[in-house]
Amino acid sequence: DAGVTQSPTHLIKTRGQQVTLRCSPKSGHDTVSWYQQALGQGPQFIFQYYEEEERQRGNFPDRFSGHQFPNYSSELNVNALLLGDSALYLCASSLVGGVGFYEQYFGPGTRLTVT
Amino acid sequence: AQSVTQLDSQVPVFEEAPVELRCNYSSSVSVYLFWYVQYPNQGLQLLLKYLSGSTLVKGINGFEAEFNKSQTSFHLRKPSVHISDTAEYFCAVRKTSYDKVIFGPGTSLSVIP
Q: pLDDT digit string (tens) for A5-48?
A: 999 999 999 999 999 999 999 998 899 999 999 998 999 999 99
CA dihedral sign, ordered A24, B87, A45, A60: negative
Q: Across residues A78-92, what is the average pLDDT?
A: 97
> What's the pLDDT score for residue B30?
80
Question: How far, in whole angstroms, is CA A104 from its chain's centroid?
Answer: 13
- Please tell me which residue of chain B has the smallest CA distance to A41: B105
* Distance (Å, whole) CA A52 – CA A31: 9
A89 with A112: CB under 8 angstroms? Answer: yes
A40 DSSP assignment: T
**DSSP string covering A63-96, please?**
TEEEEE-TTS-EEEEE-S--GGG-EEEEEEEE--
Q: Which residues face A50 on adjacent strands?
A: A31, A53
Chain B nearest C-alpha distance from A105 (Å):
8
Handedness of CA A68, A73, A77, A83 (dihedral sign): positive
Find the residue in A nearest to B51 (Cα). A101
Nearest CA to A103 among B64, B36, B78, B14? Answer: B36
Distance from CA of A15 to the nearest CA of B (A): 24
Confidence of residue B29 (pLDDT cuts 50, 70, 90): confident
Decide the pairing of beta strands B19-21 and B10-14: unpaired
Substitution target in B2, B3, B9, B97 with the highest count of A β-carbons within 10 Å is: B97
* pLDDT tier for residue A78 given thresholds of 50, 70 and 90: very high
Taking CA–CA distances from A36, the nearest residue in chain B reads B103
Q: How far apart are CA A22 and CA A91, in angstroms?
A: 9
pLDDT at B31: 85
Question: pLDDT value at position B60?
Answer: 94
Task: Find which of A10, A31, A32, A37 to mutate to test the B interface (most B CBs within 10 Å of its CB).
Answer: A37
Preceding amide of A8 cis, omega within 30: yes
pLDDT in tens, B40-98: 888 899 999 998 888 999 999 999 999 999 999 999 999 999 999 999 999 999 887 67
pLDDT for the residue numbered A98 = 57
Query: Which of B62, B32, B26, B67 has the alpha carbon at shortest distance from B47?
Result: B62
Taking an 8 Å Cβ-Cβ cutoff, which residues of chain A contact chain B? 4, 31, 33, 35, 40-45, 48, 50, 56, 58, 90, 92, 94, 96, 100-109
CA-to-CA distance for B54 and B50, rounded, in angstroms? 8
Which residues have C-beta within 8 Å of that of residue A101, sequence separation ≥ 6?
Answer: B32, B51, B97
The dihedrals phi and psi of A17, each to the nearest 5 degrees, come to -80, 175
pLDDT of residue B38 exceeding 70: yes
**DSSP category for residue A99:** S
Asked whether the beta carbons of residue A101 and residue B101 sit closer than 8 angstroms, the reply is no
